[in-house]
Amino acid sequence: ESNPIWSVVSRIVDRVREGDESTETIPGQPAGQSPALEEPTEPRDPLHPKPDQAAPELRTATGRPVDGSAQDRAQDGAHLTSAQGVRLSDSDHSLKAGPRGPVLLQDHHLREKLMHFDHERIPERVVHARGAAAHGVFVSYGTAANVTKAAFLQEGVETPTFTRFSTVIGSRGSADTVRDTRGFATKFYTSEGVYDLVANNIPVFFIQDAIKFPDLVHAAKPHPDREIPQAQSAHDTFWDFVSLHTEAMHHTIWVMSDRGIPRSYRTMEGFGVHTWRLVNAHGETTLAKFLWKPKLGVHSLVWEEAQICNGVDPDFHRRDLADAIEAGIYPEWELCIQTFPDTPEQTFEGIDLLDPTKLVPEELAPAQPVGLLTLNRNPTNYFAETEQVAFHAGHLVPGIDVTDDPLLAGRLFSYLDTQLLRLGGPNFAQLPINRPHAPINDMLRDGMHQTAVHTGVAPYKPNSLDGGCPFFAGVPEGGYVEVPAPVAAAQKVREAPESFADHFTQPRMFWLSLSPVEREHTIDGFVFELGKCYEQAVKERTLRALAEIDHYLCERVAEGLGLPAPEPARELPDVPPSPALSQVGSIWPVKGRVVGIVADDSADLDEVRFLRSAVFNGDMVPLIIAPTGGELGADTDDPLTVQRSFVTGRSVELDALILVSAPTPGGDAFATRDAKAWSGADASVDPRVELMLTEAYRHAKPLGALTAARSAFDSARIPTRAPGVVIDDDVEALFRGVVDLLHQHRIWERFPAHA
- 317 annotated active-site: no
Closest CA to 150 of 294, 331, 337, 333: 337
Closest CA to 262 of 203, 223, 306: 306
How far apart (Å, rounded) are the C-alpha atoms in residues 315 and 170? 13
Output 212 or 612, the one with its CB closest to ligand HDD. 212
Q: How far is the CB of 461 from ligand HDD (least distance, A)?
A: 30
For 196: left if phi > 0, alpha if psi spans -120 to 50, otherwise beta; the answer is: beta
User: Which positions touch ligand HDD (CB under 6 A)?
Assistant: 125-128, 131, 164, 166, 183, 185, 198-200, 205, 210, 213, 273-274, 356, 389-391, 407, 410-411, 414-415, 418
Q: How far is the CB of 130 from ligand HDD (least distance, A)?
A: 10
Output 390 or 642, the one with its CB closest to ligand HDD. 390
- Between the alpha carbon of residue 378 and those of residues 1, 132, 136, 161, 433, the distances in Å are 16, 10, 9, 12, 13
Output 393 or 675, the one with its CB closest to ligand HDD. 393
Q: How far is the CB of 599 from ligand HDD (least distance, A)?
A: 41
Output 123 or 456, the one with its CB closest to ligand HDD. 123
**Residue 217 CB coordination number (10 Å):** 15
Output 127 or 689, the one with its CB closest to ligand HDD. 127
Residue 359 sits at φ, ψ, to 5 deg, of -110, 165
How far apart (Å, rounded) are the C-alpha atoms in residues 448 and 124? 19
* DSSP annotation string for 51-107: TTB-PPPPB-TTSPBP---GGGSSS-SSS-B-TTS-B-S-SSS--BSSTTSPBPTT-
- Between the alpha carbon of residue 65 and those of residues 57, 59, 232, the distances in Å are 8, 4, 43
Kindly tell me the number of DSSP H helices and DSSP E strands found in the chain.
17, 20
Most distant CA pair in the chain: distance in Å? 97
How far apart (Å, rounded) are the C-alpha atoms in residues 109 and 520? 62
How far apart (Å, rounded) are the C-alpha atoms in residues 445 and 410? 26
CA dihedral 11, 12, 17, 18 (to 10 degrees): 60
- With contact defined as beta carbons under 8 Å apart, do 593 and 323 qualify? no
**Residue number closest to ligand HDD, CB atom:** 183
Q: Is 528 annotated as a binding residue?
A: no
Closest CA to 144 of 336, 342, 341: 336
- 93 annotated active-site: no
For 708: left if phi > 0, alpha if psi spans -120 to 50, otherwise beta; the answer is: alpha
Give the 3-state DSSP-derived string for 612-645, with helices as H, strands as E and coil as C.
Answer: HHHHHHCCCEEEEEECCCCEECCCCCCCEECCEE
Q: How far is the CB of 442 from ligand HDD (least distance, A)?
A: 20
Output 407 or 514, the one with its CB closest to ligand HDD. 407
Q: How far is the CB of 198 from ligand HDD (least distance, A)?
A: 5
Closest CA to 544 of 559, 554, 529, 533: 554
Q: Is the link from the previous residue into 470 a cis peptide, with omega within 30 of 0? A: yes
Q: Is 266 annotated as a binding residue?
A: no
Q: How far is the CB of 127 from ligand HDD (least distance, A)?
A: 5
How far apart (Å, rounded) are the C-alpha atoms in residues 354 and 406? 8
Q: How far is the CB of 36 from ligand HDD (least distance, A)?
A: 39
Q: How far is the CB of 69 from ligand HDD (least distance, A)?
A: 31
Q: In the beta sheet, which residues pair with residue 727?
A: 705
- With contact defined as beta carbons under 8 Å apart, do 29 and 20 qualify? no
- Between the alpha carbon of residue 336 and those of residues 142, 183, 396, the distances in Å are 12, 17, 17
Q: Is 415 annotated as a binding residue?
A: yes
Q: How far is the CB of 655 from ligand HDD (least distance, A)?
A: 27
- With contact defined as beta carbons under 8 Å apart, do 674 and 751 qualify? no
Output 10 or 166, the one with its CB closest to ligand HDD. 166
Q: Is 710 annotated as a binding residue?
A: no
Q: Is 125 annotated as a binding residue?
A: yes
Name the 3-class secondary structure at 242.
helix
Choosing from 3, 116, 128, 274, which is the catalytic residue?
128
Choosing from 135, 200, 235, 317, which is the catalytic residue?
200
Output 367 or 718, the one with its CB closest to ligand HDD. 367
- With contact defined as beta carbons under 8 Å apart, do 367 and 322 qualify? no
Output 213 or 735, the one with its CB closest to ligand HDD. 213
Output 418 or 602, the one with its CB closest to ligand HDD. 418
Q: In the beta sheet, which residues pair with residue 285?
A: 279
CB-neighbour burial class of residue 476 (10 A; exposed 0-12, middle 13-18, buried 19+)? exposed
- With contact defined as beta carbons under 8 Å apart, do 626 and 286 qualify? no
Output 389 or 598, the one with its CB closest to ligand HDD. 389
Long-range contacts of range 120-124, CB-CB < 8 Å, 24 or more positions apart? 122/387, 122/422, 122/423, 122/424, 123/421, 123/422, 124/171, 124/172, 124/422
Q: What is residue 469's DSSP assignment?
A: P
Name the 3-class secondary structure at 162.
strand
Output 414 or 613, the one with its CB closest to ligand HDD. 414
Binding positions for heme are: 125, 164, 213, 411, 415, 422
Binding positions are: 125, 164, 213, 411, 415, 422
Active site residues: 128, 200
